[in-house]
Structure 1
């Protein structure tokens, strides 16, 4: 029998979690403060609809997924851990550094699996990119930049930085393996008081520099992470067709008597195995519960992202 999971939050992303855990044979219950929403999703998957307190008290439930508006995450994550349940909490895990630290401290005290929902860490293309960097195929990493832009999803509580940038920050932190020593952020609000555009500039102890651009008021959709190395450059493009998700460019750059020169070449596309990132993330959560292994995206990763977001929101135009 797989571990038994309850999904708390039956909105768009919570429904995706419920469907995925049902397909994995692990969904036991769903919960939402709107009972009719929970009843509908429960009927779809043939499981129980339960109040949150009942989820915490149910000894049959091994793990809880929180897919809620972010301002609920910290308190409910702590309640899940104090109830002795394993935890997968969507990003951001809190809306302040202090609350995120409370979640990390509760996880240490509980001794349970406590995982952040940084789903793109489980994308096969990103995993392939990680492996190539670890093997030295790109050489020394010099610069990483990301563009995550599109139109819509105007949340009442979160600006573009807090809503969109965590995806790319989690990837950048994974690739660098270190926290930045300098963060500079600029946001611009076009529609209301919340920023619709956000830029983050990061500097890491190793010398790696990084730039994140996030926008929810953009005429086209783009999801690109670009890594510049001393030997090669790589682009993880999540909008591209599957066989073009990860491109490697062996452009040549050199210096001679005439100054710096360059030669562009066509990209080499890396073969990527099939696999839905959310399914792989959910499978990983179940495996960690079964084996006691540490998750690849612990809540401490979620804290590291929130520390950057908090520092990056100091300045707004």
Structure 2
């Protein structure tokens, strides 16, 4: 069942990426621009997501943005990403004629309840990560999407990273053989302001940042049988932030490990993801831009036996392909490759890896 599910996911991802690689094919089916709005500017990815949407004017019409917090709204009004946009109340945005989708970029605590309101209004939603602080919230989100017949696209950006797309294809084609290891690390050096913000979550950086890697892990391996978290608080005199974490994910034939280190001065370039099998090895480091090293015991396709650096396609922006995919979904041209079963498995793994309760 895991293998069939992984086959479906990776086939869908490849179909999505082929439309990006051959825009003349995708463009033939495009119709009028999709009306989209954004709620919230508090999320760390908020301005980047709006910049990505606005970089695709042939696809999207941004009808407005909602920011109920007066201080954040004032700051956003002067930010380049939001220049010239109309600020609306939430009810105004959701009642805009023809609105098809909303990007939810609030503070983490409000992501899921805000997205549910958008779904009830009949919108597809792009919801930044993670999907709330409990499984109850995540279930409610996907239950509402099912009732409304709408799509929840979680903001796990590595799904559309060309290096990860290639990884999913290599695994789909069986080039690595039986998988024996999976490991990943994603960290950075957090300043005092970031530490204070993330200390509000007992799950620390594993919850807020390494969730990207957990999403990729579940795409490759499916739902883990058992998760064991380890958390260290390096500066208890300063705060309660879990700034150095490790989690192990137990599968029938292997144990995967994910690390998240927020006291790493070289956290960015050290970010990595690696999958090993009996017939090969796939390494991505750094994650962005994705640099790939592939090792094979036998040649496959254009790749030789042994180790080689593999070039991957360049993207126009960090989040652009997420929204290109969302446009296809809003037009009814395809379904999202990552379904609710996947998202629920990811969120449970994120919570458990972060040492957070799942209820």
| TM-score band, normalised by shorter chain | 0.7 to 0.9
**Given that residues 30 and 41 in structure 1 are in contact (C-alpha distance below 8 angstroms), is that contact kept between their aligned partners in structure 2?**
no
Report the Cα distance in structure 2 between the residues aligned to 1:57 and 1:42, rounded to whole angstroms. 26
Aligned to 1:203: 250
The question of 1:6 aligning with 2:37 is answered yes
- CA gap 1:54/1:40 in 2 versus in 1, 3 angstroms: farther
Q: 1:38 Cα deviation (Å)?
A: 4.4
Runs of 5+ unmatched residues, structure 2 = 1-31, 299-304
Alignment root-mean-square deviation, CA: 2.3
In the alignment, which residue of structure 1 is the partner of 2:295? 249
Q: 1:13 to 1:312 in 2, by over 3 A?
A: closer
Shift of 1:8: 1.5
SS of alignment partner, residue 285 of structure 1? helix
Aligned to 1:20: 52
Equivalent in 224, 242, 245 of residue 180 of structure 1: 224
Superposition TM-score, scaled by structure 1 size: 0.87
Residue 219 (structure 1) aligned with residue 265 (structure 2): yes
Which residue of 2 is the match for residue 260 of structure 1? none
Relative to structure 1, is the Cα distance of residues 85 and 172 closer, same or farther in structure 2, using a 3 angstrom cutoff? same
Counterpart of 2:10 in structure 1 is none
User: Per the alignment, do residues 42 and 62 of structure 1 end up closer, same or farther by CA in structure 2, a change over 3 Å counting?
Assistant: farther
Residues 47-66 of structure 1: matches in 2 within 5 Å?
47-66=85-104
Aligned to 1:286: 327
CA contact (8 A) 1:160 1:195 kept: yes
Q: CA deviation at 1:190?
A: 2.1
How far, CA to CA, are the matches of 1:106 and 1:39 in structure 2?
Answer: 32
Query: Bigger shift: 67-76 or 156-165?
Result: 156-165
- Structure 2 distance, partners of 1:94, 1:44, is 26
**Aligned mates of 1:43, 1:147 — CA distance in 2:** 30
Q: 2:216 is matched with which residue: 171, 180, 198?
A: 171
Q: Work out the CA distance in 2 between the residues paired with 1:44 and 1:269.
A: 39
Cα distance in 2 for residues equivalent to 1:2 and 1:235: 38
- Shift in alpha-carbon separation, 1:122–1:97, aligned structure 2, 3 A: same
Deviation at residue 3 of structure 1 after TM alignment? 1.2
1:198 and 1:183 map into 2 onto residues whose CA distance is 13
Once the two structures are superposed, residues 60-114 of structure 1 have per-residue CA deviations (whole angstroms, 9 ceiling, x without a partner) of 3210001121110111111010011111101101110111111111111110121
Relative to structure 1, the CA distance from residue 44 to residue 306 in structure 2 (aligned partners, 3 Å threshold; closer, same or farther) is closer
Question: Would the aligned equivalents of 2:183 and 2:258 in 1 still touch at CA under 8 Å?
Answer: yes
Structure 1 match to 2:108: 70
Instruction: Identify if the C-alpha distance between structure 1 residues 230 and 28 changes in structure 2 by more than 3 Å, giving closer, same or farther.
Output: same
In structure 1, C-alpha distance between the alignment counterparts of 2:288 and 2:87, rounded to whole Å:
38
Larger deviation, residues 274-283 vs 7-16: 7-16
Contact map agreement 1:42 1:49 (CA 8 A) in 2: no
Q: How many Å separate the matches in 2 of 1:236 and 1:57?
A: 44
Q: Deviations over 1:97-155 (max 9, x none)?
A: 11111111111111012111111010011101111111111111111000112201422
1:209 Cα shift?
1.9
Q: Which runs of 5+ in 1 are unaligned?
A: 253-264
Q: TM-score, normalised by structure 2?
A: 0.77
C-alpha change, 1:10 and 1:41, in structure 2 (3 Å) is farther
Look up the SS of the partner of 1:50 in the other structure: coil
